[in-house]
Amino acid sequence: MRMSSLFGPMKFWLAAAMILIAQPALADKRVALVLGNSAYQNVPQLANPVNDAALMADTLKRAGFDVVDSRQNLSALETRRVLREFADKANNADIAVIYYAGHGIEIDGSNYLIPVDAKLERDNDVYDEAFSLDRVLVAVESTKKLRLVILDACRDNPFAQTMKKTIATRAIGRGLAKIEPDAPNTLIAYSAKAGSTAQDGDGKNSPFTVALANHLTTPGLDVRRALGFVRDDVRKSTFNRQEPYVYGSLGGDDVPLVQASLSTTAPAVAAAPAPAPNPQADIRRDYELALQVGNRQAFDAFLTQHPDGFYANLAKLQRDKYVADETHAAAAEKAKQAEQERQRLAATGAQKAAQDKAAADAQAAEQARLDAERAQQTAQQQAADAERKRVDSRNATLTPAADKPVNLASLAPAATQNDINKSVQLELRRVGCYSGNVDGDWDSASQRSLSQFNRNAGMKLDVKSANADTLDAIKQKSTRVCPLICEHGFKADGDRCSKIVCAAGSFVNSDNECEKQQQSKPTAKRDDSDRPARRAQPDRQERLYVAPRGGNGYDAGYGALPRQRSGGYGGGYQSQQSSRPLTGIERERGCNTNEAIMSGKCP
C-alpha cells in the first residue's frame, strides 16, 4: 500500500516531465500582414495580386502564425491605418512578415508602394499618394528575431508613362531600387532584381508567389535557404528571364519561419548518430549567402571570415566585380561632369585656352571611362565563368547514378523556339539593342538588333535564328552594349535621353550642339503702307489739266474741251478727235474744265 502510494506521484511527475520535454520551451510569436492591390482606379487593373495575397495568407495560416491580417485593394488612407494597427501587433513579436503584391515605383533611388486610389499625375505626388518602403519597415521595427518584407511589386509601372516631371533631373526607375536596410535581422525580398521587372505568369498566381508558397514555410528550413530555393524555381519557370533577389542580412543561426517538429527529428536522432560537421559545407553556405546579398561589403565580410581556400578565390573574383562596378560608375560620373564643363565653356564663349583645357580634360575622362568599362566587363566575365563552373561542378556531384534513370523531361518543360525568341528579344532590349515588341517573332527587326549587338560586342552570333547559345552570350553582358540614340535636341545621359539646355543667346544646331546665335545687322526698308492709296489717284500735276497755250502744244482757246489721257497710268495727253468749239449749252454749263466734265453735267 505504501509502495503504490509512492509510485502514484512518481508516475505523475514522469508524465509531466515527458510533456515538458516534448513541447518547445517558448514558442515564437509570429505575425503577418498580407496586402494585395488589383483594382487600381486610374490605370489598368492587375489580375494576380489579389490571388497572390490570398495564397500567401492561406500559406501563413496553415503554418500556424499567431496573426495573419489579410487586406485587399486598400486606398492610401486605409493602408496607413492598417500599418499603424499592425505595428501594435508586431510589437515584441519574434517574427514579423509583411507581404505586398501590386504596383510599386522607384523615384530618385527611393521605393514607394502604390495604393489603388493613386493618380500620380506628377512625380512629386508620390509623397502624398503613395507610401514609402521605409514606412513599411517602421511597422516591424520592434520585432526581435526576424523582420521579413516580401515585395511582389516589380511590375512594369503604367504611372511612369504619363507622370509629369516637376524637376528635369529627377529619375524615375524601372522596377524597384536596390536597398540596404539599416535595422539588423531584416530581409527584404524582391520578386525581381533591382532595376528589372517581374512577370505575372500565365496562371492564377505569379511565379514568385507560387515558389514562396512551396518553400517559405518548410519546417526547419532557414529562411535564407528557402528564399534561395524560391529564386531557383522562379528562374527555372521563367527561363531565366526573372531573378528574385534578397537584401539585408541575418546572423549565423538558422532562422526558419516554422520550427522543425520533434516527431520528425527524434526518430532520426535515435536511428543514426549525428553527422560529422562539414567545414566546407559551412563555407559554401556563407559564400552563397554573400551571393544573395550581392555587394562588395558582403564579400569583404566573407573574406575576413574565410581568407583562404577555394571559396575565398571565388569570393575575390566576385568582390573584384563589384569594385570594377564602383570604379566604372565613378569614371562615368567624372566623364559626364567634364563634358558638361566643356559644353558650358563653349556656350558662354570662354577663352580659347580654357576651352582647350576643358576639351582635353573631357577627352581624358572619357578615355578613363572606356578603360573602366572594359575592366568592368572583364571582371564580370571572370566572375560569371567561375560561378558557372562552380554550379556545374556541384550539379555534377548531385546527378543520379547511371543505373537509376530519371525522366528529365518530366522535371521541367522544354523551352519552345518561341520562348527562346522572346528571351533573346528581352535580353537584346536590356542591353539597348532592341526596341520592338517581345512577341517571339524572329523577324527582320530582331535580326537587325542582333546584328547591331554583334557589331558593338565584337561577336559573330548567327542572326538568322535565335538559340540557347545566343541567349547565354547576351546574358554575359551586364551593361548597355548598343549606344543610346536620342532625338534631335536630346543627348544620352546614362540609359536615358535628357534635353539639351543651351545658354541664353544659343540654340541647338543640326549637329545637336549648342551654337551662339548671330546678330543680324539692321537694314533700311521702304515704307509701302500708303502705296496703294498713291496708286489709286493720279499725280498732283495730273489732277487738273490746264491746256497749255502756245508752243508746240494744242491750243483750242477759251471754251474748248481739254485734251484726254491716252490710256493707262502715266500716259500723256492727246487731243480728242472731237476737239471743237463748245456749243452754247456746253459753254453755259461751264464745260471747259475737268471739274465740270467729271461732275456729269456736261455731255
SS3 (DSSP) at 325: helix
> What stretches of 23-154 show up as alpha helix (H) in DSSP?
49-62, 76-90, 126-129, 133-138
- Mean pLDDT for 498-520 is 82
Judged by average pLDDT, the poorest of 91-95, 391-395, 591-595 is 391-395
Report residue 408: phi and psi, to 5°. Answer: -65, -30
Extract the C-alpha cell encoding 331.
569614371
Give 170's pLDDT tier (boundaries 50, 70, 90).
low
- Mean pLDDT for 583-603 is 71
Q: Which of 145-149, 273-277, 570-574 has the highest mean pLDDT?
A: 145-149
- Mean pLDDT for 302-311 is 86
pLDDT at 116: 92
Report residue 135: phi and psi, to 5°. Answer: -65, -35
Q: Which of 94-98, 110-114, 258-262, 362-366 has the highest mean pLDDT?
A: 94-98
Q: Which of 151, 76, 88 is nearest to 119 (CA)?
A: 76
Any idea which fold 28-262 has? Rossmann fold (3.40.50)
Q: Which of 22-36, 309-323, 391-405 has the highest mean pLDDT?
A: 309-323
Extract the C-alpha cell encoding 48.
494576380
pLDDT at 270 exceeding the cut of 50: no
Asked if 287 and 314 touch (Cβ cutoff 8 Å), the reply is yes
Could you tell me where the beta strands, DSSP code E, fall in 398-489? none
pLDDT at 391: 72
pLDDT at 227: 92
3-state secondary structure 99-112: EEECCEEEECCEEE
- Distance, in Å, from the CA atom of 466 to the CA atom of 454, rounded to the nearest integer, reads 13
* Better pLDDT: 136 or 21: 136
pLDDT at 524: 60
Question: How many secondary structure helices (H) and strands (E) does the chain include?
Answer: 21, 15
Judged by average pLDDT, the poorest of 180-189, 447-456, 462-471, 523-532 is 523-532
- Mean pLDDT for 56-67 is 93
pLDDT at 137 exceeding the cut of 50: yes
Give 117's pLDDT tier (boundaries 50, 70, 90).
very high
Extract the C-alpha cell encoding 359.
576639351
Helix orientation angle between 49-62 and 207-215, rounded to the nearest 10 degrees: 0
pLDDT at 307 exceeding the cut of 70: yes
557: left (phi over 0), alpha (psi -120 to 50) or beta: left
Judged by average pLDDT, the poorest of 22-31, 70-79, 91-100, 217-226 is 22-31
- pLDDT (tens digit, 9 = 90+) per residue, 405-427? 444 333 334 457 888 888 888 88
pLDDT at 401: 42
The bridge status of strand 30-36 relative to strand 67-72 is: parallel
Judged by average pLDDT, the poorest of 188-202, 460-474, 547-561 is 547-561
Q: Which of 271, 285, 140, 177 is nearest to 222 (CA)?
A: 285
- In this structure, what DSSP letter does residue 46 have? P
pLDDT at 33: 95
Contacts (Cβ under 8 Å, ≥6 apart) of 563? 545, 547, 554, 573, 574, 575, 576, 579
- Distance, in Å, from the CA atom of 96 to the CA atom of 83, rounded to the nearest integer, reads 12
- Distance, in Å, from the CA atom of 68 to the CA atom of 97, rounded to the nearest integer, reads 9
- Mean pLDDT for 122-146 is 88
The bridge status of strand 95-101 relative to strand 110-113 is: unpaired
pLDDT at 269: 43
Element (H, E) at 586: helix 584-588
pLDDT at 54: 93
What is the pLDDT of the chain when averaged over all its residues?
77
pLDDT at 97: 95
pLDDT at 567: 46
* Better pLDDT: 599 or 420: 420
pLDDT at 568: 45
- Distance, in Å, from the CA atom of 427 to the CA atom of 470, rounded to the nearest integer, reads 10
- pLDDT (tens digit, 9 = 90+) per residue, 529-556? 555 555 555 544 444 444 444 444 444 4
Report domain extents, the chain.
28-262, 280-286+294-394, 541-566+573-599
Tracing cell 514555410 back to the chain, one arrives at 217
Burial label for 373, CB within 10 Å (0-12, 13-18, 19+), is middle
CA 301 from chain centre, in angstroms, equals: 31
Contacts (Cβ under 8 Å, ≥6 apart) of 221? 215, 256, 258
- In this structure, what DSSP letter does residue 192 have? S
- pLDDT (tens digit, 9 = 90+) per residue, 154-165? 666 777 777 777
- Distance, in Å, from the CA atom of 469 to the CA atom of 522, rounded to the nearest integer, reads 68
Give 252's pLDDT tier (boundaries 50, 70, 90).
confident
pLDDT at 168: 66
Element (H, E) at 255: none
pLDDT at 95: 94
Asked if 69 and 34 touch (Cβ cutoff 8 Å), the reply is yes
Q: With b meaning 16 or more CB within 10 Å and e meaning fewer, what string describes 450-461?
A: bebbbebbeeeb
pLDDT at 529: 58
* Better pLDDT: 415 or 182: 182
> What stretches of 458-547 show up as alpha helix (H) in DSSP?
468-475, 531-536, 540-543
- Distance, in Å, from the CA atom of 66 to the CA atom of 89, rounded to the nearest integer, reads 10
* pTM of this structure: 0.45
Strand partners, 218: none
Percent of the chain scoring above 70 in pLDDT: 73
pLDDT at 403 exceeding the cut of 90: no
Element (H, E) at 382: helix 352-398
pLDDT at 409: 37
- Mean pLDDT for 503-518 is 83
> What stretches of 170-261 show up as alpha helix (H) in DSSP?
207-215, 223-237
Q: Which of 283-287, 451-455, 501-505, 534-538 has the highest mean pLDDT?
A: 451-455
Strand partners, 560: 581
